[in-house]
A = this chain, B = another copy of it.
């Protein structure tokens, strides 16, 4: 699963991150190469899983998703069975955009994007009825200052 990635690969990845809709010729010009070699590199990076899904960023507010919460979760349960159920619950809920297992005294953090505060409450009630959690703190976002998925290559 490991791939050797050289400087040209990195430039190609940076360009794809910036704008995945541009043509091979454009990318080739910007990395100082030409179509075929760039195409071969992209194919290899895709097969290696370095390049994943190709998607578009949508304006959440324009589409009515006006509330974003970060949810800090502490739990006293650490058995495999509980964790399996908890993970499945998160995967199944589309309003959960991110979920991380943490080091330290907070066990999990979620990023939850919903239409409004009521929708968050519905999510919260559903979650705690599915799995036991010891302590939940919700942080409400007032303003998205910055949002990117780009890695600083």
Chain A 129-153 near chain B by CB (<8 Å), digits 1 or 0: 0000000000111111111111111
List the interface of chain A (C-beta within 8 A of B).
Answer: 1-3, 5, 13, 16-21, 48-60, 62-63, 65, 68, 70, 87, 90-91, 94-104, 106, 108-109, 111, 113, 139-153
CB distance from A22 to the nearest CB of B (A): 9
Are A70's CB and B19's CB within 8 A? no
Are B97's CB and A142's CB within 8 A? no
> Within 8 Å CB of A19, what residues of B?
53-55
How far apart are the CA atoms of A87 and B144 in the complex, in Å?
Answer: 11
> Within 8 Å CB of A20, what residues of B?
20-21, 54-56
